[in-house]
């Protein structure tokens, strides 16, 4: 850490040279320029002084008996907290070998003898100024990271609702970052109608996750009041349209299964096809025909009504799953997903089996988007 400031604090310079006359001259010059100086006549003495008084920068003579400046610089790099102590090597010449040796030992700068005093002061001040700027950037970055962690914790707690009803539902979520822009919500009206929402906000990570609590509150509050799904779909759209920036919107699938569990109504607002499987075969696909929520203010829509039977399985997913790609850039795709669902149902695998298979398809490259999939059993 650089301790010097623009106020009265002084930066401490360690000067190490076996030439005591030159050591005295350098010390007097730097003291006159406002620096605090500690001096050593050998590498061993310099290491000992560092244990007593941590310098902000070191000025080391390259050629000293015993431990030369190059070796001393390397030694400092191995001792905490001096591994990043800025070092200037004083060399007799600026030939390639000396310069290479200086930088290889870990020096940040070099200066040649006879010393050009204005250059020496400029090099020292330039390094200290750069290090202070780097430290300020690191502190700002750490502060931002801390704030982000707090916001992530708040959003995670807001999204972690005990209102989620797990009956007849299986799902998995694989976020690309710590927080996810995808959400899965499930609840029952008092008459037995089941409401399900799979949502995918634009992007991923913290910006995408912020809208989740808003949508969840609308969904659960209106379902608890036994309001029909068309009103929920419309209210979420209008609230997001009013409250969020144009670039933030929610692709979503809304499902309402009547109390007899024989009539399913679907609203596909910008997600991949919603699939209905019966006895292991895909019977129906509901493609997106509606705008993602929050894009435009639009009238209510009655949705697509489907006849279903007990045991039918309804699947919805975010586009991060079907748009995952392998090492050569080939998308996983809807067809591959449907094949996996058929295999999963035939072998009675858990939902996470699909997540693992998509991960194998991705191989070693990083996940680029949130992936979520949900199954409703009729």
Same domain, 96 and 205: no
Query: Is residue 5 a part of any domain in this protein?
Result: no
Percent of the chain with pLDDT over 90: 53
Same domain, 175 and 28: no
Q: Which single residue is written with the structure tokens 């009675």?
A: 348
28: tokens are 């007097």
Distance of alpha carbon 182 from alpha carbon 280, whole angstroms: 27
Same domain, 179 and 105: no
The answer to whether residue 32 scores a pLDDT higher than 70 is yes
Q: Which single residue is written with the structure tokens 């999204």?
A: 159
Per-residue model confidence (pLDDT) at position 326: 85
Per-residue model confidence (pLDDT) at position 281: 93
The answer to whether residue 1 scores a pLDDT higher than 60 is no
Note the pLDDT tens digit of each residue in 221-230: 999 999 999 9
Query: Is residue 148 a part of any domain in this protein?
Result: no
CA distances from 114 to 60, 94, 119 (A): 14, 12, 11
Mean confidence (pLDDT) of the chain: 87
Same domain, 230 and 338: yes
Per-residue model confidence (pLDDT) at position 145: 66
Query: Is residue 118 a part of any domain in this protein?
Result: yes
User: Domain residues for 226?
Assistant: 161-377
| Mean predicted confidence (pLDDT) in 147-167 | 67
Same domain, 74 and 134: yes
Are the beta carbons of 263 and 301 closer than 8 angstroms?
Answer: no
Q: Could you say which of 74, 107, 138 is where a domain stops? A: 138
Does residue 51 come out as left (phi exceeding 0), alpha (psi in the -120 to 50 range) or beta? Answer: alpha
Per-residue model confidence (pLDDT) at position 230: 95
Buried b vs exposed e over 273-287: b needs ≥16 C-beta within 10 Å?
Answer: bbbbbeeeeeebebe
Note the pLDDT tens digit of each residue in 40-86: 999 999 998 888 888 999 999 988 998 988 999 988 888 867 778 89
Indicate the pLDDT class of residue 2, thresholds 50, 70 and 90.
Answer: very low
Distance of alpha carbon 69 from alpha carbon 60, whole angstroms: 5
Residue 292 per-residue DSSP state: P
Indicate the SS3 state at residue 157.
helix
pTM over 0.75: no
Same domain, 187 and 43: no
The answer to whether residue 102 scores a pLDDT higher than 90 is no
Look up the CATH number of the domain holding residue 178. Answer: 3.60.40.10
- The number of distinct structural domains making up the chain is 2
Note the pLDDT tens digit of each residue in 200-244: 988 666 666 677 888 988 999 999 999 999 999 999 999 999 888
- CA nearest neighbour of 2 among 133, 167, 94: 133
| Mean predicted confidence (pLDDT) in 293-299 | 89
């Amino acid at each position: 850490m650089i301790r010097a400031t623009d106020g009265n604090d002084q930066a401490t310079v360690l000067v190490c040279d076996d030439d005591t006359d030159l050591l005295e001259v350098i010390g007097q010059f730097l003291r006159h320029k406002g620096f605090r100086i500690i001096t050593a006549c050998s590498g061993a003495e310099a290491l000992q002084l560092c244990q007593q008084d941590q310098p902000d920068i070191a000025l080391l003579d390259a050629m000293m008996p015993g431990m030369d400046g190059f070796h001393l610089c390397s030694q400092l790099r191995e001792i905490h907290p001096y591994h990043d102590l800025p070092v200037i090597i004083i060399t007799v010449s600026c030939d390639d070998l000396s310069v290479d040796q200086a930088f290889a030992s870990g020096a940040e700068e070099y200066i040649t003898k006879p010393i050009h005093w204005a250059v020496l002061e400029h090099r020292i001040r330039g390094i200290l100024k750069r290090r202070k700027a780097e430290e300020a950037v690191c502190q700002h970055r750490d502060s931002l990271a801390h704030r982000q962690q707090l916001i992530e914790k708040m959003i995670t707690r807001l999204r972690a609702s005990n209102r989620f009803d797990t009956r007849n539902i299986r799902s998995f979520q694989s976020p690309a970052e710590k927080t996810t822009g995808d959400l899965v919500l499930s609840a029952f009206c008092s008459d037995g109608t089941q409401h399900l929402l799979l949502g995918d906000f634009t992007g991923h990570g913290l910006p995408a996750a912020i809208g989740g609590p808003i949508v969840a509150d609308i969904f659960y509050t209106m379902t608890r009041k036994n309001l029909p799904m068309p009103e929920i779909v419309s209210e979420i759209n209008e609230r997001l349209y009013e409250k969020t920036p144009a670039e933030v919107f929610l692709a979503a699938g809304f499902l309402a299964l009547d109390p007899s569990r024989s009539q399913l109504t679907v609203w596909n607002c910008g997600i991949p096809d919603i699939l209905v499987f019966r006895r292991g075969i895909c019977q129906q696909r509901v493609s997106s025909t509606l705008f993602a929520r929050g894009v435009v203010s639009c009238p209510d829509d009655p949705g697509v009504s489907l006849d279903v039977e007990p045991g039918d399985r309804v699947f919805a997913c975010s586009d991060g799953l079907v748009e995952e790609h392998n090492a050569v850039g080939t998308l996983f795709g809807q067809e591959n997903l449907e094949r996996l669902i058929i295999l999963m149902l035939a072998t009675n695998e858990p939902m996470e089996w699909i997540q693992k298979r998509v991960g194998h398809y991705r191989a070693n490259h990083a996940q680029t988007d949130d992936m979520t999939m949900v199954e409703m059993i009729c």
